[in-house]
């Protein structure tokens, strides 16, 4: 079977490079995104080109609008250098050191500093006026995410005695148990969307920011599928943990449970439909998170969900 050739560079980007003799470029690996990314080197300066698969004026406009919100509210994102039509955005190069990698390579002192930086970002995100968000992670969308899990994860990882007809009512109860109060959120606030450059944390992949349940960004990092924060997790919400507010801690766990189940659907889709097997490695950790939420909630109404995921207890303990 012949190997498919990569699509050519858009004319606008080719012209941009052509006007800069000596410019070098290379593709940056990005498995899950429709967009392509290229690192461009020119006269000791490094830039990153974000390229949509076809002219996408609405998507580019959405990206620029979100970028303006983040910059206005003191949230660090890569600066924009050039906009080439409706398909290419040239940005500051924020490097390639993901928080996922920086965490593994850091000692305890640096890890505490990184967590403090993330906590500050979470506070700034929640302080953005809700009216600036153009969409909302509402009940309908959360239910769609649960159905996505049932469509892509459940058939690939069946458990005897568990059926979609039994699980779906429990997943609906889970969504309905999450309080609708929403704040401005990044939507994918995890260690692979946070870069560490010059000791500062820079956010990427922020264009889908929306209103989400108030702990959504917090749990996205605290119970990250890509990185286990371990005991440092509690530093993300020390005041909440210290006050022992059972109602609020329950909302943290409910939101995290929905978020992690949603992630399992995504990982199964990327692994089996998009043929990106690397995502399978994050399933065991995510299931461990799911089981920890179910144990903490200790809620009989989620008994069916618990029964399904307990099947994976041995698998997750042997990651």
Query: Helix 246-268 and helix 283-297: axis angle, to 10°?
Result: 150
**In the prediction, which pLDDT does 243 show?**
65
The predicted pLDDT at position 240 comes to 74
Give 173's contacts (C-beta < 8 A, 6+ positions apart): 301, 302
Domains of the chain with bracketed CATH: 22-92 (3.30.200.20), 99-317 (3.90.1200.10)
Contact indicator for 60, 86 with CB cutoff of 8 Å: yes
What pLDDT was estimated at residue 171? Answer: 98
What is the CB-side half-sphere exposure of residue 245 using CA atoms within 13 A? 10
For 197, phi then psi, to 5°, come to: -135, 125
The answer to whether the beta carbons of residues 87 and 180 sit under 8 Å apart is: no
Cα–Cα distances in Å, from 143 out to 125, 139, 151, 176, 301?
24, 6, 12, 9, 17
Please report the pLDDT score of residue 316 as a whole number: 46
pLDDT at 161: 87
Q: Is residue 94 classed as helix, strand or coil in its secondary structure?
A: coil
> In residues, how long is the chain?
319
Note if the pTM is more than 0.75. yes
**pLDDT by 10s per residue, the chain, length 319:** 455 566 788 899 999 999 999 999 999 987 678 899 999 998 889 999 999 999 999 999 999 999 999 999 999 999 999 999 999 999 999 999 999 999 999 999 999 999 999 999 999 999 999 999 999 999 999 999 999 999 999 999 998 889 999 999 999 999 999 998 899 999 999 999 999 999 999 999 999 999 999 999 999 999 999 999 998 999 998 777 666 668 899 999 999 999 999 999 999 999 999 989 999 999 999 999 999 999 999 999 999 999 999 987 654 454 4
pLDDT of residue 308: 95
């Amino acid at each position: 079977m012949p190997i498919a050739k990569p699509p050519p560079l858009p004319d606008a980007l080719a012209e941009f490079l052509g006007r800069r003799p000596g410019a070098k470029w290379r593709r940056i690996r990005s498995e899950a995104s429709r967009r392509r990314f290229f690192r461009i080197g020119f006269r000791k300066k490094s830039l990153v080109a974000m390229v949509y698969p076809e002219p996408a004026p609405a998507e580019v406009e959405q990206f620029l609008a979100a970028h303006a919100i983040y910059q206005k509210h003191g949230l660090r994102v890569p600066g924009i250098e050039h906009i080439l039509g409706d398909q290419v955005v040239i940005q500051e190069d924020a490097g390639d050191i993901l928080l996922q990698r920086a965490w593994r390579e850091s000692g305890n002192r640096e890890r505490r500093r990184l967590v403090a930086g993330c906590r500050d970002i979470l506070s700034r995100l929640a302080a953005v006026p809700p009216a600036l968000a153009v969409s909302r992670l509402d009940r309908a969308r959360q239910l769609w995410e649960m159905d996505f899990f049932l469509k892509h994860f459940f058939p690939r990882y069946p458990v005897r005695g568990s059926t979609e007809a039994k699980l779906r009512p429990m997943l609906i109860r889970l969504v309905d148990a999450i309080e609708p109060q929403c704040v401005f959120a990044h939507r994918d606030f995890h260690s692979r969307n946070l870069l560490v450059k010059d000791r500062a944390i820079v956010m990427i992949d922020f264009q889908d920011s929306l209103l989400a349940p108030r702990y959504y960004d917090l749990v996205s990092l605290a119970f990250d599928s890509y990185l286990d924060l371990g005991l440092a997790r509690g530093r993300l919400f020390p005041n909440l943990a210290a006050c022992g507010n059972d109602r609020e801690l329950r909302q943290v766990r409910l939101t995290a449970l929905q978020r992690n189940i949603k992630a399992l659907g995504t990982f199964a889709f990327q692994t089996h439909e998009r043929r990106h097997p690397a995502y399978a490695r994050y399933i065991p950790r995510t299931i461990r998170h799911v089981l920890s939420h179910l144990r903490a909630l200790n809620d009989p109404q989620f008994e069916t969900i618990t029964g399904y995921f307990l099947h994976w207890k041995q698998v997750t303990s042997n990651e």
